[in-house]
């Protein structure tokens, strides 16, 4: 069974540009999550999508946005890039929608975003 896949592996942008990161969940998983792993700050929750809807959002500005497609894949968009956006962006997927049955989130290997 294929795991969570993310593309691109690496992305280099300059300040003010826009970045689009992509994620394909494990087959059968409907929930997709995005996390930021910045050096010194650990993993921070960004967004949760399920059935095409944004279900929860972390403490990030509105220039971080995303969407989920009918096939459950997802995009993360970051507008007006700033130097501090340099980080590893991780996508995870799970079976669970409501959280009540607490299914584990399984992660991809991330997209390394570097802002010059």
* Residues of span 35-74 touching another protein by CB under 8 A: 35, 37, 39-43, 45, 48, 55-56, 58
- Pattern 85-104, binding to another protein, x per CB under 8 A? ---x-x-x-x-x--x--x-x
| CA nearest neighbour of 107 among 33, 45, 49 | 33
User: Is the bond leading into 37 cis (omega within 30 degrees of zero)?
Assistant: no
Shortest Å, Cβ 63 to another protein: 20
Residues that bind another protein in the complex, under the rule CB under 8 A: 4, 31, 33, 35, 37, 39-43, 45, 48, 55-56, 58, 88, 90, 92, 94, 96, 99, 102, 104-110
């Amino acid at each position: 069974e294929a795991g969570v896949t993310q593309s691109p592996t690496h992305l280099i942008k300059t300040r003010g540009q826009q970045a689009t990161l992509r994620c394909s969940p494990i087959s059968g998983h409907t929930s997709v999550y995005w996390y930021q792993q910045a050096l010194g700050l650990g993993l921070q929750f960004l967004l949760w999508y399920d059935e095409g809807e944004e279900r929860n959002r972390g403490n990030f500005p509105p220039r971080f946005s995303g969407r989920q497609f009918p096939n459950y894949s997802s995009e993360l968009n970051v507008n007006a890039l700033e130097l501090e956006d340099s980080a590893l962006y991780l996508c995870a997927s799970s079976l669970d929608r409501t959280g009540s049955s607490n299914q584990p989130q399984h992660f991809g290997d991330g997209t390394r975003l570097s802002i010059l």
